[in-house]
Structure 1
Amino acid sequence: PEVIYLAGIIDRTPSSIAMRLVNFASVDPFHQNRGIAGLSGGKKQVEPIWKEFIDNKEDLLFESEKILAEKESVSIDKKFAHMLIGIENLVGESKTREVKVRVNQSVFRQIVLANYSSKCAISGIDVPELLVASHIIPWSKNEKERLNPENGICLSSMYDKAFDKGLIGLKLDHSIVISEKLRSNRIKPYYKQFFAPLEKLKIASPQKYLPKPEFLEYHLDVVFMK
């Protein structure tokens, strides 16, 4: 459906969009590592675009969303109005910068939720309003990886907060580890209900982007309360 929709708003055929996506697959390391060659016939056209995007995700993701909004005959501010509440009084560069950050966060959330089938990777909760695209390396700590879906896990609000504060972590095999600070509450009913079942439990596997091992190691070393 997304391919058909995109084809309609940019006046192309769905098959041409699909073919171009497979051209991009030929230069995408994710697909190369899976043994997927893609269609290399258009490599000369897509490789420069891929390299520019992969080294500048923050700017180019926002630019692509602006172009998409224009094709949909709506301003970027109106399309993402639900994400821009509270910045109505900002002007100039300050507003542009904040709009860019929030739009990119929204797109990152869409990607991460889709990667986990819009379900919390721990609890299976599938109510979008209760789900968060949780960063493994915090947003403020690594600008380059902010929008990398390998740096995101779909979690419900409570488990997102626990992960963000280092009360829980993930080992490289994706099993959950609970901090001693949180375990000190093991006799309390809420711990028995919400956290005791997590010990040695593994998170649900995503559809495409696995948590990057280096990011999990960073979280365990820097964020997790040992």
Structure 2
Amino acid sequence: MIMYHYESQLNNPKTNYFIIDSSSSPSHNDVDFKYYSYQNKSNKQLHSGDLIIYRRSGSASEWGNEFYLYGAAELGKVVREDPENGSSLIAIKNPYLFSHHLMKQNLRTFDWKFRIFKGKWSNFFNMNGITQISKEDFIGLLDRQKDMTPSESNLSSEEESIAIKCYQAERMEAYFINDEVKATPTYDAVNKFFSDKVKFNYHYKSALVANNDESELIATRIIPWNVNKNIRLDARNGICLSKMFSKAFTEGYFTFSDQGHIVLSTVVSDDSETNKLLNKYKNRKIYMNKEYSPNKKYLQYHREHIFRR
């Protein structure tokens, strides 16, 4: 259960619930899961103790101008007020990173309570970036993202905190993380962040096969976890592959050229189905996004150290 994060606030009848837009721009005062800036003169409904869900608007989205929901938190105290422009900076408490970004297609069947969804998203969320929702909506959205990753381990509060730090560090292009943080193993927390980040970059589809069955998708590391601590948070060390392709890639039965073409090993797998699949997709080129495509140095390592020759 993830609701333990917000148990006291959910039991408080004075708690209000919001979806807030946060900018992806590093020049903006917003710092995801740390601070939120807003115009206090026109938006007086936010108070310490209220619960929020983060939304990246279409105009700020990295995903084809499509909005998405990606986390939750509790509002803390105002830490700074600017009388000149009427803005306030409020601290964020108890941040929680979603296990799965909630995209438009994940929300079309969601039973909203605060407002009737009529099939179009235009004007569904308030233009000022702050939309008050119901308690049922808040709980339902947290349940929805968790239901989309049923096999993911339940994390402790310490691990959830590490997942948040992974998100923040990756955005600053800091990719190092140790095996433990204050005696808490990091692998599951990193995997929560890394897995969804890689799948998000590939639009929740396999890089090779026309397969959007998410239960079949794995965020596959190019360089294994134990090899290099300095790149563990780098999503460009990940490729979204179906389970069979992921296993074959990890075991070195195929690799990729710098241009993204499959290169098959001369060593044949013991699994005939794997061999058939690999031969079918021989010379296939993976989806290469300019910003999120695999790092060529990582692909070179895979060719030299993991690929079976």
| Residue type at the aligned position of 2:294 | P
Task: State the distance in 2 between where 1:196 and 1:107 align.
Answer: 33
Partner residue of 2:203 out of 117, 122, 135: 117
Flag the 1:221–1:102 CA change in 2: closer, same or farther, 3 A.
same
Which residue is 1:129 aligned to? 215
Alignment of 1:125-204 (within 5 A): 125-182=211-268, 191-192=275-276, 194-204=277-287
RMSD: 3.8
Flag the 1:216–1:10 CA change in 2: closer, same or farther, 3 A.
farther
Could you tell me how far 1:124 is from its partner in structure 2? 2.3
1:212 and 2:295 equivalent? yes
Q: Does the Cα contact within 8 Å between 1:83 and 1:103 map onto a contact in 2?
A: no
Which deviations, in whole Å up to 9, do the C-alpha atoms of 1:75-101 show, x marking residues without a partner?
A: xxxx799533699xxxxx899623x32
Which residue is 1:84 aligned to? 153
Unaligned runs of 5+ in 2: 1-15, 35-72, 74-92, 98-137, 140-145, 157-179
Which residue is 1:69 aligned to? 96
Percentage of identical aligned residues: 26
> Greater share of helix residues, 1 or 2?
1
Q: Does the Cα contact within 8 Å between 1:116 and 1:205 map onto a contact in 2?
A: no
Task: State the distance in 2 between where 1:122 and 1:202 align.
Answer: 7
> Greater share of strand residues, 1 or 2?
2
Which TM-score applies when normalising by structure 1? 0.60
Which residue is 2:87 aligned to? none
> Highest CA radius of gyration, 1 or 2?
2
| Residue type at the aligned position of 1:116 | Y
Could you tell me how far 1:184 is from its partner in structure 2? 9.6
Q: Does the Cα contact within 8 Å between 2:155 and 2:188 map onto a contact in 1?
A: no
Could you tell me how far 1:123 is from its partner in structure 2? 1.1
1:97 and 2:124 equivalent? no
SS at 2:285 equivalent:
coil
Q: Does the Cα contact within 8 Å between 1:170 and 1:177 map onto a contact in 2?
A: yes
